[in-house]
Amino acid sequence: MSDTDVPEVEETDKPFRILPRIDDLNRAFWTGGERGELVFLRCQSCGYFVHPPVPFCPSCEGRELAPEPVSGRATVHTFTINHQPWMPGPELPYVVAIVEIAEQADLRLTTNIVGCPPGDVEIGMAVQVVFEHYDDVWIPLFEPFVAAGESVDAARDAS
């Protein structure tokens, strides 16, 4: 694959990934992608989104948490470009990023940025969720955010 290709997440070219163990707490997060939804546990008392999943709210210690979808939009908080084959995984190089979910400032995910050359990724860049499906797990990855009606190339030229 050349740097200019825009990788699609197709059944045929998915990289090997170590999959999470699904339990009652994290099931909504890892399976929301089946419906195209990024889902977090949310405190029903104070509205705080909780991630990684724990059985209580770190903000108010409330115990009533329920899965709720967010918009799927986020910004790149920090990132690194991995050139080393530490373990079987995506084609090198790839971007490991911490993204901040739009709905809450401290709601962050460690993920990969896909759909653009690694050299195009910048801190503060707007991204949107895309899912890679393995068995009963939908892994949330992020690609450059493209407003409705814009092409990826137009968005890239504007940045």
Q: Please calculate the CA angle 75-76-78 and round it to the nearest 5 degrees.
A: 150
Terminal Cα distance for the chain, rounded: 24
Q: How far is CA 18 from the centre of its chain?
A: 16
In this chain, which of 46, 66, 92, 123 binds Zn ion, going by CB under 5 A? Answer: 46
Q: If binding is defined by CB under 5 A, does position 54 make contact with Zn ion?
A: no
Interface with Zn ion (CB under 5 A), residue total 8
Q: Which two tokens stand for residue 97?
A: 């990023």
For Zn ion, give the closer residue by CB, 61 or 91: 61
Number of Cβ within 10 Å of residue 92's Cβ equals 12
State the pairing for strand pair 108-113/94-101: antiparallel
Write the CB contacts of 130 (distance below 8 Å, at least 6 apart in sequence). 9, 114, 115, 140, 141, 142, 143
Q: If binding is defined by CB under 5 A, does position 48 make contact with Zn ion?
A: yes
In this chain, which of 31, 59, 75, 82 binds Zn ion, going by CB under 5 A? Answer: 59
In this chain, which of 7, 62, 69, 89 binds Zn ion, going by CB under 5 A? Answer: 62
For Zn ion, give the closer residue by CB, 25 or 81: 25
Q: If binding is defined by CB under 5 A, does position 43 make contact with Zn ion?
A: yes
Contact 110, 139 (CB under 8 A): no
In this chain, which of 60, 92, 147, 154 binds Zn ion, going by CB under 5 A? Answer: 60
In this chain, which of 31, 45, 82, 104 binds Zn ion, going by CB under 5 A? Answer: 45
CB of 46 to Zn ion, least distance (A): 3
Strand partners for 43: 65
Q: If binding is defined by CB under 5 A, does position 97 make contact with Zn ion?
A: no
- For Zn ion, the binding residues (CB under 5 A) are 43, 45-46, 48, 57, 59-60, 62
